[in-house]
Structures are given as C-alpha cells and as structure tokens.
Amino acid sequence: MNSACGPAIDSADYVFRINVPEMDPYIEDVGYKTNFTTLNPSIFKRKYNYFANTQLTDKFNKDVSQFQGLLMLPCFSDDAWVPICNRALLRLTPKESLGVAFGDPDQFSLIRDYWATKGLSKYPSTGLYLATAAIALCDELHLYGFWPFLDSSMAHVTTHPVKYHYFDNTHMVRVHDMHSEFELLTRLHKAGVLRLHIEACSPAFRRHTGRSEVGDMQAADGTRHEPVDDPQNRIDIGKLWEKL
C-alpha cells in the first residue's frame, strides 16, 4: 500500500487481477481497470460461507460487480469444486460487461510440470500460474504486488508489515513455495521476460522512504539491501541480482 501505482496499472492495455480483490478503497495504489479476474473456489467458503444466506449472496454480487471483462473460475481442477461453482453461478447476477470463463485443468498441469523442471516442487500459486499464462499472451508483462516476505525490511528503509493479500488477512499457505516463486520471477525480470515492480510508483514516496528504482535493487545511498523474513527461508536478493 501507499505505492501510488494505480495510474500505472490502469494505463496497461490489459489488466489481470487475482481472486476478486477489493479495489475501491485502494484505487490510488491498485487502480480500477479490469479485463481478466480469477476467482478461486476456496473463496466461496472463506468469504461467503457457500452462500449460506441472502446477505452473503448479496455481498458476493456486490464484490463481483466492480469487475469487467472475464471472470475465470478453475472449477474443474477438483471434482469437489464443480457443485460449488454451479451454486455460485446460479447466484451470480448476470451483467453484459462481465463474462464467465472456466480454467482448463490441463493447462494448469502443463504449467505446474514446466516449473517442476525448473526446481519448483510445490504447486504454483495463482499468481505464478497467471503470470506464466500472460507471458504467452502479452508482448510486455508488468507484475505488481508480488512480494513473499512478511515485512518490507531493507537496509536504511523503515520497515512495515506486508500482508499476503493487501485486501484481506489471509496468510501464506504451505501448499505454495512463495520464496522460490519470487526467485523465479526475479530471474525472469533480469532476463527481460517481464518487469517485476516492487517499489512505489510515486517519486515523493521514494524520496520519503529512500527506495530506488526496481531494476537496481539498491537503497538510495547505493547500498545493496536484503529483504528480511524467516532467516531459514530468506533469499538474498542483492546477491541473486548480482549473479544473474
């Protein structure tokens, strides 16, 4: 938050968003444009208790109403999700500006198997899955909001906690290896395949925090910095950047 990246995100030709994130209170930071949004069926339980009452159904439709383009549900990745997705579709208020698409489980399997050959032993997160698909679709890819650490600790920079999702209080799940995924994305950034944005977009914010441009991974005084998290899982991004 406090990144002021909303205008930069909205300037893109096509915007992907993950798991129907709340946008209205955060427009300055995350923008409002949407073209393709994922909706993991697990959200139906966590946020809407499987539409147990009218109030939860109304909340679901209100949350979805802010999106345009396509709403993608990976309903066929698990047989158990099919009846839950059907229930959601029956309760979804149709609108012309939002279509519904279903994820192809074979595509996910291919992406999972590909990253396994690159050393990722755990299931890819929705973020990595969507980024991989977007590489095949887009001439130029910019990623915002990818950060696997519990805080923003860097040398000479004031730290603050960083949520797993900016819009809720969920925590990282063990089925994913977010640190390894971030290292893979870092390598793709360095190779020029995509642009990984981890800094604020506002020059005023950079001056206030002492942060520099994304590509340099340096503090304002030129000192290489290292994100702080669990020491056993920590990635020394400064050294990683220098090796690539």
Nearest of 197, 215, 206 to residue 12 by alpha carbon: 197
Assigned token pair, 84: 């839950």
HSE at residue 56, side-chain half, CA atoms within 13 A, is 13
CA 60/CA 175 separation, integer angstroms: 26
Give me the catalytic one of 171, 176, 197, 225. Answer: 176
Nearest of 82, 87, 85 to residue 39 by alpha carbon: 85
Is 208 an active-site residue? no
Helix (DSSP H) and strand (DSSP E) numbers for the chain: 10, 6
Stretch (H or E) spanning 179? helix 178-190
Provide φ and ψ at 190, rounded to 5°. Answer: -65, -30
CA 230/CA 147 separation, integer angstroms: 14
Stretch (H or E) spanning 8? helix 6-10
Active site residues: 176
